[in-house]
Amino acid sequence: MDGDVTVTESAAIGIYLADRYSYGELAPKVDDPQRGTYLRWSFFAPSVIEPACYAQTSKWDYKPGSAGWGTYENMLASVEEAIGEGPWLLGERFSMADVIFGGTVRYMLRFKMVEERPAFVDYAARLDARPASIAAAAKNNAVVQERKLGG
Give yes or no for residue 150 having a pLDDT over 80.
Answer: no
With b for 16 or more beta-carbon neighbours within 10 A and e for fewer, the 66-90 pattern comes to ebebeebeebbebbeebbeeebbbb
pLDDT of residue 68: 86
Q: What is the pLDDT of residues 126-143, one digit of tens each?
A: 999 999 999 999 999 999
Say yes or no: domain 10-147 is CATH 3.40.50.720.
no
pLDDT of residue 119 exceeding 80: yes
Residue type, 86: G
Share of the chain above pLDDT 90, in %: 94
Q: b/e for 104-122, b at 16 or more Cβ within 10 A?
A: bbbbbbeeebbeeeebbee
pLDDT digits (tens, 9 = 90+) for 46-102: 999 999 999 999 999 999 999 888 999 999 999 999 999 999 999 999 999 999 999
CB neighbours of 10 closer than 8 A, spacing ≥ 6?
46, 100, 103
Answer with the residue of higher pLDDT: 149 or 90.
Answer: 90
Kindly report the average pLDDT of the chain as a whole number. Answer: 96
